[in-house]
Structure 1
Amino acid sequence: MKVNKQKRHRKTLTFYTACHGFRKPFKVLCDGTFVHHLLANRIIPADKALSNILSANVILYTTRCVLAELKRLGASYSEALNAANKLMVARCEHDKCVRADICITEVVGEKNSEHFFIASQDGDLRKKLQEVPGVPLIYGLRNALFLESPSAFQREYVKTSEEGRLHMSKKEYQIFRDRAMNRLAGEEANDSITGVMENKDSGDQAINVQAVRSITSRNKTDIKDKPQFKRKRAKGPNPLSCKKKKSHENQNIGSMKEMKGDDTVRRSRKRTRSRKRQMPADIGN
């Protein structure tokens, strides 16, 4: 499948799933012309070919009227009849079999409540179903299958239905109005009852109000509405982590001590004189 074809099919599927509530697995209602086209072009198995287009599992359906029409067409459509008999049969309320296109249009109804994908090679049937909202159409072209884009009517129907949901209908407006009137009447009744009670108790309430005001005026100075926190002021540095300042007086005293110490050392030194011991004259002689 080509890329452009895949994108187009994906857009069409999102339109029907988002706006009309189609859900997986998708239901495909096939007529006799479509079954015959699949067999003639060897597009088999049919459920796999359709699931490739719709990117989901599919369940194939047909109707009793379609089977009866294939039977009437004779031996040339016998293979198509055998293949159609294997499909699930959608319920149609026809006691006597009618034409296949009429049967399919009646099964689809006004809004396709059963969410069928209609697979047909009948161009007139497809044109008729384009005027019905929420009916996706599938057809075959040689050995390829295609999902038709939504028609202009279907797109316009979705747009108008969305605009209609934004506004209230007449019934909804009437219900809303009745509820609002009942609510206002109830509020007025409650106000009248409370007004009578207020007139009786007005004297007591005035006394109570004055008492409360006097109490609150006394306690205004004592009661503090908000907790007051102490401001954190900037503190000095940690004295243990700082070096002590050396004063100039201590330095001078230290230098004087050193000078004095030198003097004392010098003074304490004594001169030793070498004295020669003289021998007495007597001893020498």
Structure 2
Amino acid sequence: MRVRRQRRHRKAVRFYTACFGFRQPFRVLCDGTFVHHLVVNKIAPPDKALSDILSASVKLFTTRCVLNELRRLGGSHAHSLNAAKDLMIARCDHEGKMKADGCISEIIGENNPEHFFVATQDTDLRRKLLEIPGVPAIYGLRNALFLEQPSTTQRQFVKTSEEGRLHMTELERKMLKKRTTNILGAKMSEDSSDEQEDSGEQNLESSALTKPQAVNKILGVKDKVQFKRKKAKGPNPLSCLKKKAHENSKPSSEKEKKDGDGTVRSRGRKRKRSRKGKISSDVGAG
């Protein structure tokens, strides 16, 4: 049960944080009835108890009107008055002459600019505050503290605000239309003056520019992508060169040299023959 209650409290805190800009440390405005409840049920320290249900650090406030109301109640609320004096004082211009509920309602106003969590045991005051957007209410039950869930009015306010931010208002629509017309007219007049000066060098593409295309050009909107058609290319000139004929190297003995009219065939080294045998044969015959 306690875990489920803490989960509901965290969910409500996220709602006020995301939708109304509540930030830590949370500011809690306490009236006399809530301070008296803390004292009677011995819930101490109060800042620790409130930080537990909000899962964040807190600062506790009260008003001079609340202190004067506790003072008028006499000795039965003397301990509650001493406990309230330890809290920080929220500024109000009533000088302690107004009732506590009226003072708190005036501080909260129509949209709770100070982002207060209001802690009170007054059921009528809680019901009244929950009808105001962005006002979370805290109350006590015996020795436990509870955070009121966001009311239907507060949730509807958030939903309406979100829808309003998503759509363009009529004033914004008129301003955008007027601005677009002015820019388009200035661009058209500038183009016409350029055409008169450079009538001999008109570009066919700019002269055929339509009004929607001009608007897109002014607003920086690109037209459809135009793909370039690839042209046929010729063969690689390096691949068309004739191959060089490689001459076969022949032995030096088979080369022919041209000299004048005839050809002289180069020959190799001559073999020397021995003449000894021939000489001996001639001598024997003689």
TM-score (norm 1): 0.69
**Which whole-Å deviations, capped at 9, do the CAs of 1:141-193 have from their partners, x for residues lacking one?**
00000011001111111111100111122332333223212211211112211
Residues 95 and 189 of structure 1: CA distance in aligned 2, closer, same or farther (over 3 Å): farther
1:91 aligned residue:
91
Structure-1 separation of matches of 2:132 and 2:5:
24
Residues 24 and 201 of structure 1: CA distance in aligned 2, closer, same or farther (over 3 Å): same
Structure-2 separation of matches of 1:137 and 1:37:
15
**Which whole-Å deviations, capped at 9, do the CAs of 1:213-261 have from their partners, x for residues lacking one?**
xxxxxxx99889xx99x9xxxxxxxxxxxxxxxxxxxxxxxxxxxxxxx
Structure-1 separation of matches of 2:9 and 2:101:
25
Structure-1 separation of matches of 2:185 and 2:27:
53
Structure-2 separation of matches of 1:19 and 1:69:
34
Structure-2 separation of matches of 1:184 and 1:92:
55
2:244 aligned residue:
none
Q: Structure 2: any 5+ residue segments left out of the alignment?
A: 204-230, 240-286
Instruction: Say which SS state the counterpart of residue 91 (structure 2) adopts.
Output: coil
1:43 aligned residue:
43
What RMSD in Å do the two structures reach over aligned CA positions? Answer: 2.3
Report 1:238-253 matches (<5 A).
none
- Choose 1 or 2 for highest CA Rg: 1
Question: Post-superposition shift, 1:107?
Answer: 0.5
1:171 aligned residue:
171
Question: Post-superposition shift, 1:95?
Answer: 4.4
Instruction: Say which SS state the counterpart of residue 4 (structure 1) adopts.
Output: helix
Q: Structure 1: any 5+ residue segments left out of the alignment?
A: 204-219, 231-285
Structure-1 separation of matches of 2:105 and 2:17:
21
Letter in 2 for 1:199: S
The percentage of aligned residue pairs carrying the same residue is 58
Structure-2 separation of matches of 1:136 and 1:122:
14
Q: Choose 156-165 or 193-202, whichever is displaced more.
A: 193-202
Q: How many residues align?
A: 211
Letter in 1 for 2:59: I
Question: Post-superposition shift, 1:202?
Answer: 4.9
Instruction: Say which SS state the counterpart of residue 105 (structure 1) adopts.
Output: helix
2:26 aligned residue:
26
Instruction: Say which SS state the counterpart of residue 106 (structure 1) adopts.
Output: helix
Question: Post-superposition shift, 1:45?
Answer: 0.3
Structure-1 separation of matches of 2:174 and 2:129:
36
Structure-1 separation of matches of 2:31 and 2:19:
26
1:60 aligned residue:
60
Structure-1 separation of matches of 2:150 and 2:117:
12
Structure-1 separation of matches of 2:19 and 2:233:
68
Question: Post-superposition shift, 1:23?
Answer: 0.7
Structure-1 separation of matches of 2:84 and 2:234:
91
1:266 aligned residue:
none
1:189 aligned residue:
189
**Which whole-Å deviations, capped at 9, do the CAs of 1:61-95 have from their partners, x for residues lacking one?**
00111111111111111111111111111111224
TM-score (norm 2): 0.69
2:225 aligned residue:
none
Instruction: Say which SS state the counterpart of residue 28 (structure 2) adopts.
Output: strand
**Which whole-Å deviations, capped at 9, do the CAs of 1:43-69 have from their partners, x for residues lacking one?**
000000000100110000001111111
